[in-house]
Structure 1
């Protein structure tokens, strides 16, 4: 099933509003469990289907960054809001991975991916995982390799604690009590949604920038890509780098974040007053936050969803769950690397500050059919490198053409 929409033209004209408001960027599927999931499609509607499983707090709007690249590559990219994120509903006990059943990590992500593929009548698809999304990608690949086209593209693979070589930051987080993490993060996010708190006057983008992560991610550069098996660190003495060809543009990143912030504020207002309509809640948060950067951001398309706008007492329910999974609070992955028989291509930046290169090399050796490409000076958000993204999508398209 495809939806006729001028999204391809919008990607060429760099029209953020057209990208965000496209019907293809806001579709819904209700699972047998009753969970309502929002998903997006970008690129060539008749192209090779590829599912993208994103990292912490996976959101469908991330796919919009790749609209132009996917159009050029002949790819139909599909991404969805994870439960508790964006326009998707919340998980309840028994609806997949709630706290009690999270020992089978990302079971819900796998089921949602397959449900959307079946709904769209897609028997086989390419698979791209980023950061924490690589864990769910390998979980899916273990039992459903026959449905995957070509090598699974794994960008900056995240490794659950106790993996060899994991970063000190993750080790420290893994030592903290799960209830403490949940309480602190929930309180911080709830405070961020409180209209009487100053956080509302400082958009999340500015907070992240002050922390340094956002600026470093945007400023990271990458030069040549090379298979790690063909070139050692000692041989790589050329420190010359070219400007990274960004898949994303700063205005689009800011536009997405402002839109998400405003939606979370409206969702919070609705949870506090069930009598409010979505439109009334929007007007309320505009008045309460006259200086908010997202005040005049147009989110009318999201507010007019057909099955009701999600009402959340605080932002990030899905993010908190993913954070706890990522820190190993629900056990290890639902697969062993040696059991994943599907071919995998790992792309990892040598300047990734979250996942050490040594740990990724160990993962690549443990996977039976894996190729590791190290990107010189690439950061953890290597997926935003236009050159690398084109190479990754190209591998999937080539595999599809030869019937793999």
Structure 2
């Protein structure tokens, strides 16, 4: 039976500037160091941060980044009542390695599905940063009926032909790219944005002192994940095979955040996503770098949007339950037609056209309209001659 395997205490939030001992204790606690045994027998490591009873969100990190990065999301996730699951891909952290020739983003979607089933998570949201966008989009394609709301992406990696700035890598022999020194050099160059010093114009998630301590700890731990970074690199460059799908195949709403100072992903790449995906919104962050995961303003927008999607989903489910056949006094056929013409059309249009950040107003207005429509329908059946 697939199961969690972990040890000791939970993640704690700091009320004051932590010492290095505090950081080590936090990164060494149970929620940050869990392992899950898949039906295949392979072990994957993962972390859980945020509200212990919050809405589940699977977060996919960038090139070779291990689960410890999720600690920077702890406070904001708790604030928005979200529970973040961050899974180490093969060869990263304590996850057992996989042959890069056989590893594809769609296999990650299978792992997410198996773990969600094991944890009895029926619905969840997804978000991805940089290389993690590939895996988030794979889940959006394979598990779309289980995803709540929008797919949220930061500095998303796209096909190399669209990346523009790294096309030269295609001409480097695969044997050289697989070497430890070359993979390590590329790994550092692509992940350097996450370690940039904070500035007043670029608000980071952590306060400066805490950020310095945690980044130092993360850097030490990430140095051991070179094999996983190499696997990710092979996927990004599509050296063994393509992603196995196209972003254009994803029909769910997608919201992309991209910074004007991103040295890895070009504006042309995110413009392509906005133009070619069925439902895609692009938010341009002036002065933002490739490390948008560290920006409190960006992550806050994403978490607020995710929380709003869950509120809408819960309201929709509650409304559907209240509108029973008995309440409307209609037969089965009439009830279906009535709901199709009023609920499915009116409410869904209101939700789709409303601003995701004005959720409360939408909920109140939809509830008021629903009550008015229900009252009128009851009056029609009680006294048709009045209308």
TM-score by length of 2: 0.71
Q: Computing the radius of gyration over CA atoms, which structure comes out larger, 1 or 2?
A: 2
1:329-380 deviation line (CA, Å, top 9, x unaligned): 1233222233211111101101101111121111121111111100001000
Name the counterpart of 1:393.
303
Name the counterpart of 1:174.
170
Name the counterpart of 1:335.
245
Q: How far does residue 7 in structure 1 lie from its aligned partner after superposition? A: 2.3
1:358 and 2:262 are equivalent in the alignment: no
Contact 1:50 1:128 in 2 (8 A): yes
1:125 and 2:124 are equivalent in the alignment: yes
Q: Distance in 2 between matches of 1:24 and 1:136?
A: 22
Contact 1:51 1:126 in 2 (8 A): yes
Contact 1:10 1:18 in 2 (8 A): no
Between the two structures, name the one with larger relative contact order (CA 8 Å, sep ≥ 6): 1
Q: 1:142 to 1:213 in 2, by over 3 A?
A: closer
1:115 and 2:122 are equivalent in the alignment: no
Q: 1:177 to 1:134 in 2, by over 3 A?
A: same
Q: Distance in 1 between matches of 2:94 and 2:43?
A: 8
Displacement over 6 Å in runs of 4+: 1-4
Name the counterpart of 1:42.
49
1:92-137 deviation line (CA, Å, top 9, x unaligned): 5xxxxx41x34xx313321222222222211111101110111111
Unaligned runs of 5+ in 1: 93-97, 193-206, 222-241, 265-314
1:300-330 deviation line (CA, Å, top 9, x unaligned): xxxxxxxxxxxxxxx5222112112211212
Q: Distance in 1 between matches of 2:194 and 2:294?
A: 13
Name the counterpart of 2:157.
158
Q: How far does residue 6 in structure 1 lie from its aligned partner after superposition? A: 4.7
Query: How many residues are treated as equivalent by the alignment?
Result: 303
Query: What secondary structure does 2:196 align onto?
Result: helix
What pairs with 1:3-402 in structure 2 (closer than 5 Å)? Answer: 5-10=9-14, 14=18, 15-92=22-99, 98-99=100-101, 101-102=102-103, 105-163=104-162, 166-168=163-165, 170-183=166-179, 185=181, 214=192, 218-219=196-197, 243-248=201-206, 249-261=211-223, 264=224, 316-402=226-312
Contact 2:45 2:87 in 1 (8 A): yes
Q: 1:113 to 1:212 in 2, by over 3 A?
A: closer
Unaligned runs of 5+ in 2: 315-387
